[in-house]
Amino acid sequence: MQLSELTIHELTLLLQAGEVSSEEIVAAVFSRIDQIEGDIGAYITLCRDEALAQAKRADTILAAGEASPLCGIPLAVKDNISTTGVRTTCASQILKEYIPPFDATVVAKLKNVGAVIVGKTNLDEFGLGSSTESSQFHTTRNPWDLSRVPGGSSGGSAAAVAAREATFALGSDTGGSIRQPAALCGVVGLKPTYGLVSRYGLVPAAASMDHVGPITRDVRDAALVLQAIAGWDPQDPSSTRTQLPDYEGNLTGDITGLVIGLPREFINDVLDPEVKEAMFGAANVLESLGARVQEIALPHMEYAMATFYVIASAEISSSLACFDGVRLGSRAKDADDTVSMFTETRMQFGSEAKRRILVGTYVLHADHYMAYYEKAQQVRTLIREDLDRAFQECSLILGPTTPTAAFPFGHRLDTPLVMYQSDIYTCIANLAGIPALSVPCGYTDRGLPVGVQLMGRPFDEPTLLRVGHAYEQHACLPVRRPLMEVKTND
């Protein structure tokens, strides 16, 4: 039995029965990391000593018989989420030496229930990208094919979970950055409702659309992690007071009578035929379980991507303005004057961050504000209204998570608009703040994983997870593991 292969709920049974210890599980995960991390590159920072100390504490709690389901379970944290005493770089040279004096709320909650942080994962710089290629540290490779990207921006988190270098991970999602890499790496990714999970301690990109959520091996694990990290936080002004249901308890498998909408606008020219086939296969499974899948319309869907990038770039320009070498960030040395210091400091941003800062600054300029930013906010309202009308007809919306499976490195770096299309199906959930879940739904002829996306009404994560879990249990997908060969010391 390889402990690194098991899910949260499988490990929890073993831990609570006293058959294994957290120290053994963490050691198994670090053994896996030692074997393959050189090829995958999922992590920026590993926390070996801290993790082993946390595992010992978890074993003490487990011995007392009062442990939560996450106690002693190895966790990876995306490196734009603050961790006390462990550097948080956002994969940027401008923060390469930053060590936070505090934990993000989600990190504090997971520590409180005994989860064990094994390291901080790679990402596109400041979460700006769809392939993890804009990291200023190194590239992360997809465990299913080392010549292809893991998706982004939470590519390190998704790759770590898929490669069995962590049992679960935290990611952040501004336009699809949890769900898109989850789909490309063959794991589960959940973006909660805006306000359900605290963003305190997440380095912001676009504050009105940023979310923190779990990346896991299966839907039950996603429910367990959501239970631990959800809830009101007075330190996050967007946090919402809401009664938390029993997310795992709602995984009954019964989806009889549910109406699931399939937007006709999702079947467009950018959708790869193999992804389309896998998505319709998922729809057929759901119908066989008693749900009804029907076509719906989202008339303003065609404007979603443009709307998202205008608003997101504007907010990114604003949120990254503080990284100037005075308030935050690694200050450029030997500058001749203040202006040079500001300029040289901000030149440390990578090309994608600079592109979005420039676009955002342009659309916020007084001469362009009404034509771009204000107009985008108006279209955002129309998209929300489309979704509100759709949810009067159906309980959930079904669609592809990404237009294609994982693509080769460098394939889209010179064509930003093509790269941005990676978010074409995911960004509407961020614009509207609704929950969305990506679940593996098949493989391409090359053996690359494909994900299907479910979107739900605000705070209706129970239905979202129930349907995702029911599909997962009855999809009858072939049991496959990433094609990565494990190196040995022989």
Q: Which of 21, 78, 191, 319 is catalytic?
A: 78
Its sign, for the CA torsion 436, 402, 141, 439, is positive
The listed CATH number (3.90.1300.10, 1.10.10.10, 3.40.50.1460, 3.30.70.1140) that belongs to domain 3-263+392-474: 3.90.1300.10
The pLDDT assigned to 131 comes to 97
Taking the chain (490 residues) in consecutive chunks of 10 residues, what is each chunk's mean pLDDT?
A: 94 97 98 97 98 97 92 98 98 96 98 98 98 97 97 98 98 98 98 98 97 98 98 97 96 98 96 98 98 98 97 98 91 87 93 96 96 98 98 98 97 87 96 98 97 98 98 92 55
The pLDDT assigned to 489 comes to 39
How many Å apart are CA 135 and CA 41, to the nearest integer? 11
H helical segments located in 99-253: 105-112, 155-162, 179-185, 219-229
Report whether 70 contacts 114 (CB < 8 A): yes
H helical segments located in 17-77: 22-40, 48-64
DSSP E strand boundaries for 383-468:
396-400, 436-443, 449-456
Answer yes or no: 153 catalytic.
Answer: yes
3-class DSSP state of 62: helix
> Which phi and psi angles does 202 have, rounded to 5°?
-85, 125
3-class DSSP state of 295: strand
Task: Specify which residues 202 forms β-bridges with.
Answer: 81
Please give the DSSP secondary-structure letter assigned to residue 202: B
> Which phi and psi angles does 228 have, rounded to 5°?
-80, -30
Q: Which of 4, 68, 131, 177 is catalytic?
A: 177
The pLDDT assigned to 36 comes to 96
The pLDDT assigned to 335 comes to 86
The pLDDT assigned to 67 comes to 86
Report whether 73 contacts 26 (CB < 8 A): no
Task: Specify which residues 148 forms β-bridges with.
Answer: 408
The pLDDT assigned to 439 comes to 98
Q: Which of 153, 198, 319, 438 is catalytic?
A: 153
The pLDDT assigned to 319 comes to 97
The pLDDT assigned to 484 comes to 62
Residue 227 neighbours by CB under 8 Å, 6+ apart? 244, 246, 247, 248
